[in-house]
Every structure is written in structure tokens, then in C-alpha cells.
Chains A and B, each alone.
Chain A
Amino acid sequence: NAGVTQTPKFQVLKTGQSMTLQCAQDMNHEYMSWYRQDPGMGLRLIHYSVGAGITDQGEVPNGYNVSRSTTEDFPLRLLSAAPSQTSVYFCASSFRGRVGEKLFFGSGTQLSVL
């Protein structure tokens, strides 16, 4: 099982550029989410999805878009990159609606915006 796969692992952007961070899972999980991790601030939820065609905002959604056309994929789009978006991004998934379900994480994408 591949679990949760994120690509790319590293990316450098210039201010104003756009890009898409890819996330795919092969566990048939309904729930998928994106977090960013910054030093001293822990992980913060950007966007999440409870199933194909359904997305919602998390704590820090500004500057990011998501879509969920399939159960497997949940890409995160940066519309116009800013230095404040320099961070490590993690995608996570789990079964939905079960109290005892653990969250599975990808290995992360380290993004630098110059």
C-alpha cells in the first residue's frame, strides 16, 4: 500500500507564480485535508473534503484553492504565491464519520517562495 502520496517533495517558487501540490491516497478514504506546518505554530488546517465534490475551508484558507473530483485525489492550488506561504505542506486522509479513525499523513512538500 502506498498510503498518502504527495508530490513534489520540494519546490521553489517566485512571488506571484502559481502551482499545484498533488495528493493521492489509495485507502478509499472519504476524508482528505491539507495542513501547513510552520515553526512554533504547529500544524494548521487549510482546506478539507469529506468526499468527492465536497470541500470546505479550514483555519487558514486564504490564497489556496482545492477541488475533489475523485475519492483518490485532493490537489492544493496556490493561486499567486507569496513569501508568507513558505511552509511545509501535509496532506492527510482518513475514513469519515468514525470517532476512532486515525489520520494518515503524506511525507510533505517543502515549499519556498522567494
Chain B
Amino acid sequence: KQEVTQIPAALSVPEGENLVLNCSFTDSAIYNLQWFRQDPGKGLTSLLLIQSSQREQTSGRLNASLDKSSGRSTLYIAASQPGDSATYLCAVPAGVDTGFQKLVFGTGTRLLVSP
């Protein structure tokens, strides 16, 4: 059974710092990995999706990497801003025989960026 772990559970940094969020998964046979952002009281927004054949994806100040063999992904946020404050979740498909969209989520990293 696929399990996803995110460390740390919470992170507080001053504005301008570069930071790394970690995600690990137990079954390396994945099709892809998604990073989501969740603001308080809101739904999830997909930030980046990395295919299993890719090693990284970039969107603006965000860079996500994927190492399938070690079962790890990192989300790098450059020059953090107060507007980046949110919970970040990673998710992978439940299994290769269950379809691409049935996702298993980590419990998230709650990020606070102080001015």
C-alpha cells in the first residue's frame, strides 16, 4: 500500500529565504507526483506535476524534483514571500493498477513566511 510522508510538518522562515519541502513515498512504481498548495479554508491547487520519466519541473520560483529510485521528491521555493504562506501537499497515484487519478496524499507541510 502506497504511503506518503512529508517532513517537516511545519516550517517558519523570514521573507527572502530559499527553502526545501520534502516528500517521500513507499512504492517507487509511480506514474507521476503532484505538489499542491492549500490556503486556509480553501481547496487544493495543483502547482506542479512531474511525470515518472522526468527528474524535475519548474514554475516561476518553484522547482520540484523527483527521485523515483529513492522514493523522494523535493519542492524548492526560491526567495520566499509572505504570499507563499500555505500548506503544501504532495500526492502520488495509489498504484499502477488503480489508474492515474486515485491519489494518496501526504499530510502536508504548513509554511509561514514572515515579512
List B31-46 residues whose CB lies under 8 Å from chain A: 31-32, 34, 36, 41-46
Range of interface residues on A (Cβ < 8 Å): 20 to 34
Chain B, residues 71-115, CB within 8 Å of chain A (1/0): the string is 000000000000000000101001000011111011110000000
- Does B101 lie within 8 Å of A31, measured CB to CB? yes
- Does A99 lie within 8 Å of B44, measured CB to CB? no
- Does A96 lie within 8 Å of B43, measured CB to CB? no
| Interface residues contributed by chain B, number (CB under 8 Å) | 26
User: How near does chain B come to A74, taking the closest CB pair, in angstroms?
Assistant: 13
Asked if A71 is at the interface (CB within 8 A of a chain B CB), the reply is: no
User: How near does chain A come to B10, taking the closest CB pair, in angstroms?
Assistant: 12
Q: How far apart are the CA atoms of A110 and B45 in the complex, in Å?
A: 18
Q: How far apart are the CA atoms of A50 and B31 in the complex, in Å?
A: 18
Q: How far apart are the CA atoms of A67 and B106 in the complex, in Å?
A: 28
Q: Which of A40, A42, A92, A98 contacts B100 (CB 8 A)?
A: A98
Chain B, residues 1-41, CB within 8 Å of chain A (1/0): the string is 00010000000000000000000000000011010100001
Asked if A25 is at the interface (CB within 8 A of a chain B CB), the reply is: no
A90-B43, A99-B51 given as contacts; is B102 within 8 A of A58 (CB)? yes
- Does B31 lie within 8 Å of A99, measured CB to CB? yes
22 CB-based A-B contacts, threshold 8 Å: A33-B101, A40-B107, A42-B89, A42-B105, A42-B106, A43-B89, A43-B103, A44-B105, A45-B102, A90-B44, A97-B100, A100-B51, A101-B100, A102-B34, A102-B46, A102-B49, A103-B34, A103-B91, A103-B101, A107-B41, A107-B43, A108-B42
Which residue numbers of A lie inside 8 Å of B, CB to CB?
4, 31, 33, 35, 40-45, 48, 50, 58, 90, 92, 94, 96-108
Which residue numbers of B lie inside 8 Å of A, CB to CB?
4, 31-32, 34, 36, 41-46, 49, 51-52, 89, 91, 94, 99-103, 105-108
